Amino acid sequence: MGSGGLRIAVGGIEHETNTYATESMGTTGLDDFQRLEGELIHRAKGTRTFLGGFLDAAEAAGHEVVPTFWALAGPSGIIEADAYETMRTELVERLTSAHADESLDGIALSMHGAGVVEGIDDLESDLARAVRASVGDVPLVVPLDLHGNITPAMGDAIDVMLGVHEYPHTDSYDRGVEAIELLPALAERRLRPVTHVTQIPILLPTSTTDEGPAAAMRDRCLAAELDPAVIDATFFHGFPYTDVAATGTSIVVTTNGDRALARRVADELALSLWDERSSFLTESLRPDVAMDVAIRSLTDVGGPVVVNDTSDNPGGGTPGDGTHLLRAMVDAAVDGSCFGFVFDPVVAAQANEAGVGATIDVRLGGRHGDLHGEPVEATAYVKTLTDGRFVYENEMLAGVRANYGPCARLVLNADRRGAGGIDVIVTSRRSQTFDPVVFALHGIDVSTRSIVGLKSSQHYRAGFRDLATAFVTADSPGLTTLDVTVFDHPSAAGPLWPIDPHLEWAPSPDD
Ligand SMILES: [Zn+2]
C-alpha cells in the first residue's frame, strides 16, 4: 500500500446499446467485448479514457490500485443476457475477493449509462446493485458518457456519478481523475453525496458542445458546480436510439448532503433546457445537397471541407457500411476528394487478395439491409494495403490503440494507373472516424484534400477542427439520423418531444 493511500478497486462494463440496431445487425455477445482481466487493466495507462484517468490519479495520490475486470464493446445491438451475466459475475467475484483479502476503501467503475441487456433495461443500476450486494457500503464512483439515459435507480445505487461535459468527449480522462480524487473524502465520510436525477422527456439529436445550445447548457452546469455544496452537475444528452423506459435527457446533480439543493439545481437546469429545446433541432441535408454546400464552401474558402455522414455513425451502433454519402461523393467526382472509411471486410479481403496495383470490380458496402443504401458498384484500383493498426492522436482518444483489421485504400473509377477517381478507405472492423491518422496510415494527407467524407456524428470534430475549413453534415435515412422522430418508442415512460411537438412538461413537484 502506498504511503497514506487508499485501497481502490477499478473496473467497469461500458456499452452504448442501440436497440434499433439489433434487428439488422444482431445482438451483442461476449466476443464483441474487449475484456481486460486483473493486471491487464494497466494497459489503459496513458490513454485519455475513464480508465486512464483512474490509473494516473491513483498513482499520483499514492493509492493502491486493485485492477478487477473491465469490458467495452463498440455501440451495437442489445447485449445477450448470458454475456452480461458472465461479465457481471467476473467483476463482482473479483471485487468480492479483493475486499475479502483486505477491505477496499473505494471502488471506481467506468460505465456508459445507456447499456441495455436482454431483460435488463438499465445495465448500470443492475451492475451497481450487484456490486453493493456483495461488497456492502464501500464508496462507489462512476464516470459516465453524457449519452447515458440516466435513471433515479442509478443515482440510488451509485455514490457519485460524473458525466462527461464535452461532446466530443474530450474530458473522459478528467472525469476519471475526478472520480478518484473524490474517494478520500467519501472514504472519510467528509462527503455524504445525495443525487437528484431530473428526467426530461426530450429526444435530443446529437449536439456538439463546441458551440450552440449544448455549449450553453454545459456552461450552466459548470456554473452550478461553483457552489461548494454541489459536487457535480451534468447535462446528460441521453441516447435517443434506444427504446427503454428511461430514454431521454436528464440533469443529474449531486450535493454534499443537501437533497433539496440537488433537486432545486437539477430542476432549474432542466427547465432552462426545456425552454430552449427547439434550438437543438437542426435542418437535415440530404447527401447530394450536403455535397453542393461543400462544393460551394470549397470554392469560397478552400479545403479541406469535411462532410460527415451522421446517419450511419457506427459510434451510435449503425452498420458503418452505408453508401448514401459515398454515392453522392462518387457522383460529384470532385478532384482530390476522399472518403474514410467504409466497413466492408469482404472488399478489404478482395483487395488484399488482388494486391497493390491491381484493378478490381467491387460491390462496396450496403450489406446490412436497404436503410443505409445499396452497394456501390465500381472499378477500384488498389492503391495501399495496411494492417489497420495505429494509435489515435486526437484530444479525445490520444494514446488509445486502434485495430481496424486488414484495410485497403481503393481509388474508385480511376484509370489503370490509379489516377483520377475518389480515394476510399475500406476496413475490416467497424468504427466511426475519430481523427486523420487512419488517412495518414494509408498515405493520405487530408490537409491537402478538397472534400473529406467520413462517418461520425460529432466526435470527428476533435480530430479535424484544427485543419478543416468547414464542416457540413449529411443526413440520410439511417439508424443514427438527426431526425429522431422516425423511431418508435413503445417502451417509453410517456410521450417524448419532438415526436409529440405539443408536449408540455414541468419537473414533478416535491414528494
Ligand atoms: Zn457519447
CA of 236 to the centre of ligand 1 (A): 9
- How confident is the model over 342-346, as a mean pLDDT? 98
Mean pLDDT of the chain: 96
Taking 50 as the threshold, does the pLDDT of residue 220 lie above it? yes
Residues 272 and 339 in one domain: no
327 and 416 co-located in one domain:
yes
% of the chain beyond a pLDDT of 90: 96
SS3 32: helix
d(CA 417, CA 132): 64
Residue 381 has pLDDT above 50, yes or no: yes
Range of the domain at 318: 287-481
Q: What is the mean pLDDT of residues 293-316?
A: 97
257 and 134, same domain (yes or no): yes
pLDDT exceeds 50 at position 235: yes
Q: Are residues 336 and 393 in the same domain?
A: yes
Terminal CA-CA length for the chain:
45
CA-CA distance, 215 to 51, in Å (whole number)? 25
pLDDT at 420: 87
Tens digit of each residue's pLDDT (9 = 90 or more) over 237-276 = 999 999 999 999 999 999 999 999 999 999 999 999 999 9
Residues whose CB is under 5 A from ligand 1 (ion)? 145, 147
Centre of ligand 1 from the C-alpha of residue 145, in Å: 5
Q: Are residues 345 and 324 both part of a single domain?
A: yes
Amino acid at 173: Y
Which residues does 193 contact at the CB level (< 8 Å), separation at least 6?
159, 160, 186, 231, 254, 255, 256, 257
In this structure, which amino acid lies at residue 495? P
Question: Does 242 share its domain with 225?
Answer: yes
φ, ψ (nearest 5 deg) of residue 409: -100, 115
pLDDT grade for 2, boundaries at 50, 70 and 90: very low
Interatomic CA distance for residues 334 and 75, integer angstroms? 32
Same domain, 235 and 220: yes
Cα(352) to ligand 1 centroid in Å equals 34
What's the pLDDT at 1?
40
* Residue at 70: amino acid letter: W
Q: How confident is the model at residue 510 (pLDDT cuts 50, 70, 90)?
A: low
How far, in Å, CA of 463 to CA of 434, rounded? 6
CA geometry: angle 143, 113, 456, nearest 5 deg: 95
Distance separating alpha carbons of residues 153 and 130, to the nearest angstrom: 13
* pLDDT band per the 50, 70, 90 thresholds, residue 4: low
| 336-358 average pLDDT score | 98
Q: Could you report the per-residue pLDDT of 404-415, keeping only the tens digit for each?
A: 999 999 999 998
Distance CA 321, CA 312 (A): 8
Ligand 1 centre and the CA of 302: distance in Å? 31
How many A from CA of 170 to the centre of ligand 1? Answer: 10
Give the torsion sign (CA, 337, 341, 343, 346): positive
Which one-letter amino acid corresponds to residue 492?
A: A
> How far is 150 from 354, CA to CA, in rounded Å?
49
Residue 509 confidence (pLDDT) above 60: yes
Residues in the chain: 511
How many separate domains does the chain show? 2
Q: Is residue 352 part of a domain?
A: yes
- Looking at the fold, whether 229 and 363 belong to one and the same domain comes out as no
How far is it, in rounded angstroms, from Cα 250 to Cα 48?
25
Ligand 1 center to 363 CA (angstroms) = 32
Q: Is the dihedral of CA 240, 243, 249, 253 positive or negative?
A: negative
Strand partners, 338: 423, 452
Distance 172 CA to ligand 1 centre (A): 10
| Mean pLDDT value of segment 350-376 | 96
- Examine the pLDDT at 15 and tell me if it is beyond 50: yes
| pLDDT confidence band for 425 (50 / 70 / 90) | very high
Closest C-alpha among 334, 347, 365, 345 to residue 452:
334
Contacts of 53 (CB under 8 A, 6+ apart): 143, 172, 173, 174, 175, 176, 177, 178, 179, 180
Q: Give mean pLDDT, residues 304-320.
A: 97
For ligand 1, the distance from its centroid to the CA atom of residue 143, given in whole angstroms, is 12
pLDDT tens for 210-219 read 999 999 999 9
Q: What average pLDDT does the segment 182-211 reach?
A: 97
Same domain? 305 vs 439: yes
Distance CA 256, CA 97 (A): 31
Q: What is the arithmetic mean of pLDDT over 457-466?
A: 96
